[in-house]
């Protein structure tokens, strides 16, 4: 089995719900198992991260960037960075915020830069933007129109149950895409080895 680890932080449960959707999408691809890892438990899981074929990073947008807890995980990964232990693993990212925009792109850029420092291979969302024409609606996949990762949003005064189904489907699509890329690479490795 190929392995996808979804590494996330969530202060109030919203990003956790999105992370679950990402993992569901990844696990939906045959031959792939997905593991959800909260950065609050990270010290138990460094070996899981090192063993994974892909790492999908997720953080809420706090003050226009990743949460402090996620940044602490990024900084702690410097030990892996020194030996480039995650080089050539597949990477992707997602973020959740309260505002429609809320500067989420900065958070995804932070996740992308982090993955690049680790020598990883970034996978974008791969979906056309939704809700950007007269026939569109908030029910469209990728309703917030991101490309670099999955962008999701819900109101600040509501819980995770208020996350639109379209956003959870967008998150599932990111997980599925990463899992497909992982399977394609595994197939290529087998072909080269044969
Ligand atoms: C400290 C803090 C800073 C925040 N900064 C932003 C922000 O920059 N942009 C935004 O749209 N929402 C911001 N929010 C709202 C959160 O992104 C939003 O509540 C999100 O659902 C939290 O996700 P979580 O439940 O996974 O922690 C902020 C919330 C907190 C607590």
Residue 89 Cα to ligand 1 midpoint, Å, equals 29
Q: Is 96 in the pocket of ligand 1 (CB under 6 A)?
A: yes
Best residue for ligand 1 mutational test, from 14, 62, 99, 167 (most atoms within 8 Å of Cβ): 62
Nearest CA-CA partner of 104 in 164, 161, 145: 145
- Whether the Cβ atoms of residue 50 and residue 14 lie closer than 8 Å to each other: no
150-164 pLDDT per residue, tens: 999 999 999 999 999
For residue 27, the CA-to-ligand 1 centroid distance in Å is 28
Residue nearest to atom 29 of ligand 1 (CA): 62
pTM: 0.98
**How many A from CA of 30 to the centre of ligand 1?**
34
* pLDDT of amino acid 148: 98
Alpha helices in 77-136 (DSSP H): 78-82, 104-117
- Rounded distance, CA 27 to CA 179, Å? 8
Helices 165-193, 14-27: inter-axial angle, 10-degree rounding: 40
Q: Is 153 in the pocket of ligand 1 (CB under 6 A)?
A: no
What's the whole-number mean pLDDT along residues 1-22?
98
Whether 39 and 60 have beta carbons less than 8 Å apart is answered as: no
What is the average pLDDT across 115-122? 98
> pLDDT tens-digit profile of 85-115?
999 999 999 999 999 999 999 999 999 999 9
The alpha carbon of 194 and the centre of ligand 1 are apart by a number of angstroms equal to 49
């Amino acid at each position: 089995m190929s392995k996808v680890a979804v590494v996330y932080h969530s202060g109030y449960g919203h990003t956790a719900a999105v992370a679950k959707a990402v993992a569901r999408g990844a696990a939906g691809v045959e031959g792939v198992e997905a593991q959800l890892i909260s950065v609050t438990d990270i010290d138990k899981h460094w070996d899981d991260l090192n063993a994974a074929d892909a790492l999908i990073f997720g953080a809420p947008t706090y003050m226009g960037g990743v949460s402090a807890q996620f940044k602490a995980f990024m900084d702690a990964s410097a030990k892996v960075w020194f030996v480039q232990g995650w080089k050539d693993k597949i990477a992707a990212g997602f973020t959740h915020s309260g505002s429609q925009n809320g500067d989420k792109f900065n958070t995804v850029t932070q996740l992308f830069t982090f993955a690049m420092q680790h020598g990883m291979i970034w996978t974008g969302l791969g979906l056309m933007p939704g809700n950007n024409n007269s026939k569109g609606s908030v029910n469209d996949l990728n309703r917030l129109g991101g490309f670099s990762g999955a962008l999701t949003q819900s109101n600040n005064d509501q819980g995770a149950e208020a996350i639109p189904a379209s956003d959870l489907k967008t998150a599932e699509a990111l997980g599925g895409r990463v899992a497909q890329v992982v399977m394609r690479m595994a197939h290529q490795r087998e072909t080269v080895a044969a």
